[in-house]
Amino acid sequence: MLEHRAPREVSLEALHWPDLVRPRDLVVWGQASAEPTTLVASLMQARAKIGGMRAFIGIGCSTSAAPEHCDHVAFASYCGTGTNRRFGSALDIIPAPYTELAGMLGREGPILLLGLAPGADNEHFSFGAAGDYTADLIDRARLVIAEVNEAAPRTGAGYEVSRNRIDLILRTRNTPPPPQPARIGETDRAIANHIARLVEDGSTLQVGLGSIPAAVLHALGEHHDLGFHSGLIGEEAVFLAECGALTNARKRIDTGISVAGLITGGETLMRWADRNAALALRPTSYTHDAAVLASIDRLVAINSAIEVDLTGQVNAETASGRYVGAVGGAGAFLRGAHASRGGLPIIALPSTAGSGSRIVTRLSGPVSTARSDVGLVVTEHGVADLRGLALTARREAMIAIAAPEHRSALADTPPPTN
């Protein structure tokens, strides 16, 4: 932050970006429903006058940044999720664990654009839809510009942004951009039912985006005293809360409170989150912290994959040569679930994609999650509990949950060397 500049409020017309952003500067902004869309759109309009810059983006839900802006902006991200897919090869990927993002980005003293909501008083602002890695960057940024959105949910539960940590404040009223809704199919429901039978009452959940996590949460509606401690919370949290399954009552830390780095969803989720004392948004340094996760009993970490090999290695990044996923926080949460008393480190995926098997002898992409971090792998055909198994037994367990039409071919393929 520029310590010689007192925080001041500005109009959109008064923002003269060439005076704020230098050529080759790194600009970072909030992701998904926390994107400051007015600031980003204004910055993109001024990109030619700045003379070239770099931008780090997270999950894309809006069109504020677009492929045509690559003429003067070099975009990078940790993921190929959501609207990021429009960029194709023009989007440079940083294949880093989620826990490392703030440290890497903060070394450059970036310009940080925040999407916030009004706070309890004029000296504080709510993090709105995200604490996340941007919260960890506030004190490392060269310049902090906040878009305070009157339509954003006021979240907090004791954690807000002080006015004196911000340089420039722009007031707006915009509906936060929602992600594409999950489309739950029969395969998703079958996987979710397997997982639901594993989850004990009083468990704390970590889930991501997508149809399988959505199906799992719907399948848990008859459970009791579930909690959330997750990098992300989506629309289905409202269902669990309204049916009485989500109470956070048995958590040893943050008792009675759902904890997340980011909430992303539509109007239903934003209304539920607004002024909800049972919801707290926290920075990545807390949500993904190894000691914090290990202290949570019955932590159920549910993460997706593009493919898993017969030893348990996970590719969650590339499909058919395109970058569509992320390294993300799966490793941190799976290790946390391993360390948690009664925890479940779960990878969930359909057994096939088209006519091809997603249980494979050799990954077609990078190893996003090591086999040592994977505990249980779930497909619509069952559960492979790999914990404590040697490679030969792992191979047998994985073939058993592959699609029946692919099992013979998987079994006939000679196993790779250790």
Please say if the pLDDT value at position 5 is more than 80. Answer: no
Q: What whole-number distance in Å separates Cα of residue 40 and Cα of residue 35?
A: 8
Alpha-carbon distance values, 152 to 236, 273, 301, 311, 398 (Å): 19, 10, 28, 44, 44
Alpha-carbon distance values, 222 to 31, 198, 219, 245 (Å): 32, 13, 8, 7
The Cβ of residue 320 has, within 10 Å, a number of other Cβ atoms equal to: 10
Instruction: Looking at the structure, give the CATH architecture of the domain made up of residues 8-172.
Output: 3-Layer(aba) Sandwich (3.40)
Please say if the pLDDT value at position 418 is more than 70. Answer: no
Residue 158 pLDDT class (50, 70, 90 cuts): low
Instruction: Summarize pLDDT for 304-347 with one digit per residue, the tens.
Output: 999 999 999 999 999 999 999 999 999 999 999 999 999 999 99
**Residue position matching structure tokens 């925080």:** 7
Residue 7 pLDDT class (50, 70, 90 cuts): confident
pLDDT (average), residues 40-52 = 96
The reply to whether 186-412 shares the fold of 8-172 is yes
* Residue in 217, 147, 144, 146 with CA at minimum distance from that of residue 184: 217
User: Where does 265-390 have alpha helices with state H?
Assistant: 267-273, 284-287, 290-294, 330-339
- 235 CB-contact burial (10 Å; exposed 0-12 / middle 13-18 / buried 19+): buried
Residue type present at position 66: A
Domain assignments of the chain as residue spans, ordered by start: 8-172, 186-412
The Cβ of residue 106 has, within 10 Å, a number of other Cβ atoms equal to: 18
Residue 2 has what pLDDT? Answer: 43
Half-sphere exposure of 217 (CA within 13 A, CB side): 29
Instruction: Summarize pLDDT for 379-409 with one digit per residue, the tens.
Output: 999 999 999 999 999 999 999 999 999 999 9
**Angle of helix 391-400 versus helix 404-412 axis, rounded to 10:** 150
CB 33 within 8 A of CB 6: no
Please say if the pLDDT value at position 214 is more than 60. Answer: yes
Half-sphere exposure of 165 (CA within 13 A, CB side): 19
Please say if the pLDDT value at position 1 is more than 70. Answer: no
Half-sphere exposure of 79 (CA within 13 A, CB side): 21
Residue 122 has what pLDDT? Answer: 86
Encoded tokens for 50: 């700045």
Residue 4 pLDDT class (50, 70, 90 cuts): very low
Alpha-carbon distance values, 359 to 204, 260, 365 (Å): 28, 31, 13
pLDDT (average), residues 175-190 = 91
* Residue in 292, 235, 236 with CA at minimum distance from that of residue 259: 292
Alpha-carbon distance values, 299 to 221, 338, 344, 346, 385 (Å): 17, 9, 6, 10, 16
Residue 157 has what pLDDT? Answer: 59
Does the 186-412 domain belong in CATH 3.40.1080.20? yes
25 CB contacts (<8 Å, ≥6 apart)? 50, 53, 54, 110, 111
Alpha-carbon distance values, 192 to 160, 237, 310, 360, 373 (Å): 35, 15, 22, 22, 21
Q: What whole-number distance in Å separates Cα of residue 384 and Cα of residue 387?
A: 9
Please tell me the pTM assigned to this model: 0.95
pLDDT (average), residues 237-264 = 96
